Structure 1
C-alpha cells in the first residue's frame, strides 16, 4: 500500500523528467571519482548541511527534504535518460563550520558525487562553492543568501533562493506597502541582526532600500548567533531608540530569543518585522514561543502552501518524520530536483554536462515564486522572490502580496506602543 501511495505522489510531485531510452549510461566509469554512475548503478548526489550544532534542527530538515526528493524520483523510475539509474544521497554534517563544510565537500566529490546541494550558513557555502568550482562539480545552493558567494564569477554554483540583495530590498518595500496601507507608515526602523555574512548582507540591502523609501534606519545592532545567551540587552537598546519598527535577521534559536526579549522588554514598536528570519515564518515558532510571537512578520522565501503539490509534500513529510516541514526542506527538495532534471537533459552522469544543463534549464518549484527555477549568467534564480508572512492566531499565514495571500496583514502587528 505504501509503495502505491509513494508512486502516486511521485507523479504529482515529479518535475517532468523525460522518458528516454534505456541504453547503457553515458559517462559511467568503474570508480567514478569525479561523478558518474557507480558500480552499483546509482548516481550520487551530496547533501551538506549542519546535522549537529546550533542549527541542527534546520540542517536535519533540509537533509530530509533532499532524501524525499531522491525517494520521489526513484519511485517514479529513476533517471530515464540513464536507463532508469537510481539516485543515491550522500549526507554530510558540516557542523555549521566553514572548514568542516569544505573538507566534507571534498570528500563527497572524491566519493563520486555528480552534484552537491547545501549548505544553510553562508560562510560554509562560501567554502563549499570554492570546492565545487575547483573540482568542476555543480553546487545548487538551497539556503545561503550572501551576495558575495556568487560574486566570485563561479560557473559551477547556482542559488535557488533569493539573494541578500533581493530579500532585503523587497522586504523594505513590503514594510512600506503594508504600513502605508494601514495609515501607519513606518518612518523609523531599528535593525537587530546576526553578525555573519548572512545578517550583514540583509542589513545592507534593507537599509539602502528603506532609506530610498524615506525611512530612517538606526540603531543597527549585531550579535553572534552561535553564542548569544539572550537578547534582552539589545532589546533594551531598541526600546531606548523609540522607533516604529524592529527588523530582525537571524537563525531559529536567536529568533526565539528575540521573541522572548520582546515579551520581556516591551520595546513599544508597531511591528517586529523579520527579514529572511530563520524562525518567524516556521510552524514550530508560534508553538514554541506562544503569545510572545503573535503578530510577528517575516519577509522571506517560503513554500507556497496554496499549491496542492506543496500541501501533499508537507503531509508526506509530517507522516514520515513526525514534524511540520520547514521551507528549508522544500528548498533542498527543489535543489535535488534541479540536479535530477539536469541529468535527464544531459543524458550523462558527468558533472560538467550536468552543470551546463542546470544553467540552461527550467524546473518547476514548490516555492512562492515569480516563475520556474531558471538561472541567470551569475547563477542566481531569476524568478526567486520573498513573500510576507505573519503569525496570526498562533499560525503562520501568507499575507502579502495579494497573489500569494492566505489572509490580510494585520498592522500594527504588535500591541499599541506606550505613550511617547
Structure 2
C-alpha cells in the first residue's frame, strides 16, 4: 500500500527537462562532481524543544515522510534521480535561534527551507532567506506581516491570518444563523504574538460587519502561561455568548480546562487557527470538556485517499495520530521537490522561480492546488470549520467539505 501511495504522489509532481551536466549545484554533496550521485539538501526548521515541541516534532516528521516518499519513488528524476536529504534544526520557538539556524543550514548547502510554526520565528527566517536568495516555504505561520515585506524568496502554504480571521467570523455568523440563534457577542482569548494578534484583528473586523459585538479581547503569553482560569473568569463576567480562542496546542488545552472549571454561559467555544481544537489528541487529553468545540482552520482533507494513507503511515511509524501541521510540512517539502523537478537544477534562484510559477497537489482541504500569487501567498489556501463530535474532530462546514452537520449551540448554557 505504501509503495502505491508514494508513486501516486511522485507522479503528481510537475516534470521538467532532464538536467544537463556541469559542476555540482549548491546544496548537493558528492565525491565526483557534476549532478550525478550525492543528495540535495532541504532544511527543516521547527521547535523540537520548548513549549511547542510536540507540534514541532510532528512537523519535522511530516517533512521526513515527504522526503522518504520522493526518494522511494526515484528521487528528482530531472536531475538523474538525485535523492533529497532533510537536515533538521531546532528553533526552540525563539526568533533569534531560528534565524541563526537558518543561516547555518544555508551555509551547509540547503537549497530550500521549510518551517517554522511560530510567526515570529518565520519572520526572522524570511529575512535570512531573502538575504541569501534561498527559497523558504512556510508550512505554519499565519501573520500577514511576514509577507508584507515584499520579499521574493518566501512563500506560504497555509492561509494568512487575515484569511483565517475573516473566514472564521463568516463561518460563525452563517452557522449560528442557520441554527436560528445568531451570535450576539464574542469574547476573544488569544496568544499575544503576531499570529494571535493578527487573527484577533481580522476576526473582529469581519464580525463587527455582521453586527456582532466583540469584546473583551484578552491576550496571554503562550510560552509561559500555566493557567487561564483568571482570563476565562473575565469572559464569564462579560456575558458573551461565544468565546473565540486563537493560540497553540498547549494553551488551547489550558483554555478548555479553564472553561470546564469556570463554566461561563456560552453557546460555543470557537477556535480560529487554534492549534488544539481540531486535532485528534485534543479530545483525548481533555475528555468530555472538549466536546462541541469548533475550530475554523486549515485542515488535512481526510476524504482524500492519499491523506488517509499518509495518516495510516504516520500512525504506524510514529505511534501517534498525525496533526495538520505535519501535513503542511509534508506539502511544503513537496513544493520544493516539484520545483527541483521543474527547474532541472538545484540552484536556489532557479528553484525559487520554479516555486513561484508552479502548481502542486495538496493534502489540505481547499478549492485547488498549491499555487502562489505575487506576494508568495497560496492563492487556494482557505480554512474549513471543524467540530469535536463524539470525541473526535469532524469537518462540518462548508457543506462540500462536511463529514457531519455542525451542532450549534454546541452545548447548553450553564
Q: Deviations over 1:87-140 (max 9, x none)?
A: 000000000000000000000000000100000000000000000000000000
- Gapped runs of 5+ residues in structure 1? none
Cα distance, 1:187 vs. partner?
1.1
Residue 161 of structure 2 aligns with which residue? 164
Residue 121 of structure 1 aligns with which residue? 118
Q: How does 1:329-368 map to 2 (within 5 A)?
A: 329-368=326-365
1:272 to 263, 269, 272: 269
Task: Quote the Cα distance in structure 1 between the aligned partners of 2:40 and 2:397.
Answer: 40
Residue 75 of structure 1 aligns with which residue? 72
Establish whether residue 399 from structure 1 lines up as the match of residue 374 from structure 2.
no
1:14 to 10, 13, 17: 10
User: What SS does structure 1 have at the residue aligned with 2:361?
Assistant: coil
2:61 to 53, 64, 70: 64
Task: Quote the Cα distance in structure 2 between the aligned partners of 1:164 and 1:185.
Answer: 24
Cα distance, 1:20 vs. partner?
6.3
Task: Quote the Cα distance in structure 1 between the aligned partners of 2:324 and 2:317.
Answer: 16
2:184 to 180, 187, 200: 187
Contact residue 225 and residue 251 of structure 1 kept, 8 A: yes
Q: How does 1:130-279 map to 2 (within 5 A)?
A: 130-279=127-276
Contact residue 188 and residue 245 of structure 1 kept, 8 A: yes
What is the aligned length? 409
Residue 28 of structure 1 aligns with which residue? 24
User: What SS does structure 1 have at the residue aligned with 2:270?
Assistant: strand
User: What SS does structure 2 have at the residue aligned with 1:247?
Assistant: strand
Establish whether residue 110 from structure 1 lines up as the match of residue 126 from structure 2.
no
Contact residue 79 and residue 344 of structure 2 kept, 8 A: yes
Contact residue 192 and residue 246 of structure 1 kept, 8 A: yes
CA RMSD of aligned residues (A): 1.3
User: What SS does structure 1 have at the residue aligned with 2:12?
Assistant: coil
Stretch of structure 1 that moved more, 367-376 or 16-25: 16-25
Cα distance, 1:244 vs. partner?
1.1
User: TM-score normalised to the size of structure 1?
Assistant: 0.95
Cα distance, 1:200 vs. partner?
0.2
Task: Quote the Cα distance in structure 2 between the aligned partners of 1:299 and 1:25.
Answer: 48
Cα distance, 1:25 vs. partner?
5.2
Cα distance, 1:158 vs. partner?
0.1
Residue 319 of structure 1 aligns with which residue? 316
Establish whether residue 310 from structure 1 lines up as the match of residue 307 from structure 2.
yes
Cα distance, 1:6 vs. partner?
3.7
User: What SS does structure 2 have at the residue aligned with 1:397?
Assistant: strand
1:297 to 248, 269, 294: 294
User: TM-score normalised to the size of structure 2?
Assistant: 0.97
Establish whether residue 90 from structure 1 lines up as the match of residue 87 from structure 2.
yes
Cα distance, 1:368 vs. partner?
0.3
Task: Quote the Cα distance in structure 2 between the aligned partners of 1:10 and 1:189.
Answer: 45
Q: Deviations over 1:188-237 (max 9, x none)?
A: 00000000001000000000000011101000000001111100000000
Contact residue 6 and residue 75 of structure 1 kept, 8 A: no
Cα distance, 1:60 vs. partner?
0.2
Task: Quote the Cα distance in structure 1 between the aligned partners of 2:368 and 2:15.
Answer: 24
TM-aligned CA distance change 1:363 to 1:337, over 3 Å? same
Task: Quote the Cα distance in structure 2 between the aligned partners of 1:225 and 1:298.
Answer: 18
User: What SS does structure 2 have at the residue aligned with 1:14?
Assistant: helix
